[in-house]
Amino acid sequence: MLKKKILILCTGNSCRSQIAEGFIRKFVNNHAEVYSAGIETHGVNANAINIMQEIGINISAHTSNHVDEYANIEFDYVITVCDNAKESCPIFPSKAIKIHQNFPDPAKVTGTNEEIKNAFRHTRELIEIFSLDFAKKYFSSN
């Protein structure tokens, strides 16, 4: 049986889409191929890596990819995790189910290191809930 293919899109593929990729990989438990990309590439944010490591999910090997790299893949799901990516998302001529959920961008938060970490943790918690709901809805029978 072919695995479903999931693409998670964000503006820079540095924080929110990387966090979502980590959670969705965990929650679909090898029942899907999970990709993330941006409409730009900003590199994987060190704070995103660190806050995921806090809960035992290692995204340190993730790379920041441009959505054009995946133009020839037939996705089953395309998830946008920020309004900018949804508005700027290239058209995927496919049967993909498109899902959108805007999450706050923790990379835009300023303040002390602890305030910034807390912003990343808050976004992580929101994405975790969304990712678990997504996996339950679309992969619960696997």
Strands 97-100 and 77-80 come out as: parallel
Residue with tokens 């490591």: 53
Neighbours of 61 (CB within 10 A): 7
CA distance 108 to 128: 20
Helices 113-139 and 16-28, packing angle to 10 deg = 40
Contact 132, 23 (CB under 8 A): yes
Active-site residue (options: 57, 89, 96, 132): 89
82 noted as active-site residue: yes
Active-site residue (options: 82, 119, 127, 135): 82
Active-site residue (options: 7, 8, 10, 28): 10
15 noted as active-site residue: no
Q: Tell me which residues are annotated as active site.
A: 10, 82, 89
